[in-house]
Structure 1
Amino acid sequence: MGGAAYTGWALTPAAGPATVTAPVGGTGAPSAGAPSVPASPSAESVAPAAPAPDGLPEIDYGPAPIGFPDDPDTLDTAPLTEGVRPQRRLAVYDAPGGRPLAFLMPTISGVELTVPVARREAGWTAVLLPSANRKLAWLPPGGFRKIALRDQIVVERVPYRLTWYRDGAAKHSWQVSLGQRGQETPLGRTFVLGRTPPPESVYGGVDIYALGSVPDDPDSVPASLRGAHIGIHSWHHDGELGQQTTNGCIRLTRSGQRLLLAEVPPGSPVVVVDALPTPPPTA
């Protein structure tokens, strides 16, 4: 968030479907290697799913319901290489065989939803929960398509750096502006939820990425920004790069934002850390 009102962004659909391929990934700093989402054993017994009451809330652009478990690997920068795309209304649970808490829909604000897979257990799939920070939602088998995720964005708060990776290899790094004191850019794993046209000229005339994450302290942001998600966007000037000047969003150059918009599809994972152990080769 950069200081102007855009509460309730109207997300716009992305063109072109993602392809399905075998997962690739690594551990530690993003790199090619072992898959980051382990495959479920074929003989693994599947924990039964309790029926979900029709009155459960649907996950949308507003704050997600409470009760979902923490993401235990939220600062892990190993690429998440597979996503799921709901094909119908899906009940999501707090654990494999646990309590149903909400419904995950095929779209949010009219945009097709793809969520990264974080882990698997007992035949169930855990995904990064939209409209929340550092939370997982568990899905029983069925009702979704698997989508290959080739791209990843890693944001480092201490060096004010954003790096785009493809297939575990760093492609480009940019200096960025991040959240000011008290409105810091949230740490942890999230993902690109969708894109929206800039609501005001201060965004430099370039579309905005809305992420799955939200301000850690919603009351800390200006009233005009209540209900907005954390975003990746450009600005009408680059004079504040390398500083804590935003309301929590990640701000980079217009040329950098255009490249990300052209290359990184919705559903791609984003992870915010303080710093990588080793700077990327593109730094």
Structure 2
Amino acid sequence: MAGWRRVGAAVGVAVLLGGSAYAGWALTPSAGSVGQSGDPTVAPTATLSAPLAGESIAPAAPAPDDLPEIDYDPAPDGFPRDPDALDTTALTRGVRPQRRLAAYDAPGGRPIAFLMPTISEVELTIPIARREAGWTAVLLPSANRRLAWLPPGGFRTVQLRDQIIVERVPYRLTWYRDGVAKRSWQVSLGQRGQETPLGRTFVLGRTPPPESVYGGVDIYALGSVPDDPESVPSGLRGAHIGIHTWYHDGELGQRTTNGCIRLTRSGQRLLLDQVPPGTPVVVVDKLPTPPPTA
């Protein structure tokens, strides 16, 4: 097992990788990430502070200053379940916080924690799951199948063109753009007891590979975490699920990881080149109809 390490001034974080291996490292700061200004995969941002015409807005209770901040560690309890966790309908808008935002358990509900503009020095882009009573629900970072509700103001929105769908039964990852399947790859997934978590999440950021076994290709850290933290080795506690490659392809189509999603080096390079942070990821058992790229 490799220990925690830091890259530049970024904060060290952990991602679940292949087999029983563990590595700690830093997410690449936003200036070096894909999907930034000038990237054709991302549309210009626009404010979403004003309510829709005639929309009644549920008032927001004041948030105490001592609420926890949502970071790379597991998110605080109390946030509601995502009622559409297995819905593969593309989420096409994302939130980018411009300041510290109070995150609530419902429109007009109870404040639980603060959502920050960055996590581990990476600019945060979170898919929007729904809107209600003038409020916006986003997929909660560092948690599985949970939503955070935001009142109007303090954030901007960005169009999300891409989507990744992972099917556990056929061991398949498919990349979509503007609702069209572009490529599919066979993948390795979580072993028994450490299954790749089902549900909607998103690409939190990317990080350099810590060791040569990861094929020399950057890794995506997702917003999701192990469903059962006690099932993974002690060195993996607090780690996130990752999408990455491996030094060989002999385990594709098998359950050999600690929950991560492992694909070919060429596939990972293509995703890194085309798919920006904030991109929604949905893990399901199987799609009703295989994508045309399968």
Same fold (TM over 0.5): yes
Q: Which residue in the other structure is 1:27 paired with?
A: none
Q: Which residue in the other structure is 2:6 paired with?
A: none
Q: Which residue in the other structure is 2:211 paired with?
A: 200
| Superposed displacement of residue 224, structure 1 | 2.0
Aligned partners of 2:107, 2:157: CA distance in 1, in Å? 19
Instruction: Please report the RMSD computed on the Cα atoms of aligned residues, expressed in angstroms.
Output: 1.2
Q: Which letter maps to 1:92? A: A
1:210 aligns with 2:227: no
State which of 19, 27, 34 in structure 1 corresponds to 2:43: 19
Aligned partners of 2:215, 2:232: CA distance in 1, in Å? 22
State which of 72, 85, 90 in structure 1 corresponds to 2:83: 72
State which of 231, 244, 268 in structure 1 corresponds to 2:255: 244
SS in 2 for 1:6: strand
Q: Which residue in the other structure is 2:178 paired with?
A: 167
| Superposed displacement of residue 5, structure 1 | 1.5
Q: Which residue in the other structure is 1:32 paired with?
A: none
| Superposed displacement of residue 42, structure 1 | 2.4
Q: Which residue in the other structure is 2:167 paired with?
A: 156
Q: Which runs of 4+ in 1 moved over 4 A?
A: none
Aligned partners of 2:71, 2:271: CA distance in 1, in Å? 24
| Residues 166-193 of structure 1 deviation map (CA, whole Å, 9 limit, x = unaligned) | 0000000000000000000000000000
Q: Which letter maps to 1:100? A: P
| Superposed displacement of residue 71, structure 1 | 0.2
SS in 2 for 1:64: coil
| Residues 81-101 of structure 1 deviation map (CA, whole Å, 9 limit, x = unaligned) | 000100000000000000000
Change (3 A) 1:21 1:172: farther
SS in 1 for 2:95: strand
Aligned partners of 2:53, 2:169: CA distance in 1, in Å? 43
| Superposed displacement of residue 20, structure 1 | 3.4
Q: Which residue in the other structure is 2:23 paired with?
A: 6
| Counterparts of residues 23-34 of structure 1 (less than 5 Å) | none
On the 8 A contact 1:56/1:103 being kept in 2, the answer is: yes
| Counterparts of residues 1-283 of structure 1 (less than 5 Å) | 1-2=17-18, 3-7=20-24, 9-12=25-28, 13=30, 14-15=33-34, 16-17=36-37, 18-20=42-44, 42-283=53-294
Aligned partners of 1:224, 1:100: CA distance in 2, in Å? 32
User: Greater CA deviation, 135-144 or 215-224?
Assistant: 215-224
Change (3 A) 1:41 1:142: closer
- In the superposition, the TM-score normalised over structure 1's length comes to 0.92
Q: Which residue in the other structure is 2:4 paired with?
A: none
On the 8 A contact 1:214/1:228 being kept in 2, the answer is: yes
SS in 2 for 1:190: strand
- In the superposition, the TM-score normalised over structure 2's length comes to 0.88
On the 8 A contact 1:89/1:104 being kept in 2, the answer is: yes
Structure 2 gaps, min length 5: 1-16
Sequence identity, in percent?
82
> How many matched pairs?
265
Q: Which residue in the other structure is 2:14 paired with?
A: none
SS in 1 for 2:89: coil
Q: Which residue in the other structure is 1:29 paired with?
A: none
| Superposed displacement of residue 41, structure 1 | 5.0
On the 8 A contact 1:4/1:224 being kept in 2, the answer is: no
| Superposed displacement of residue 21, structure 1 | 7.7
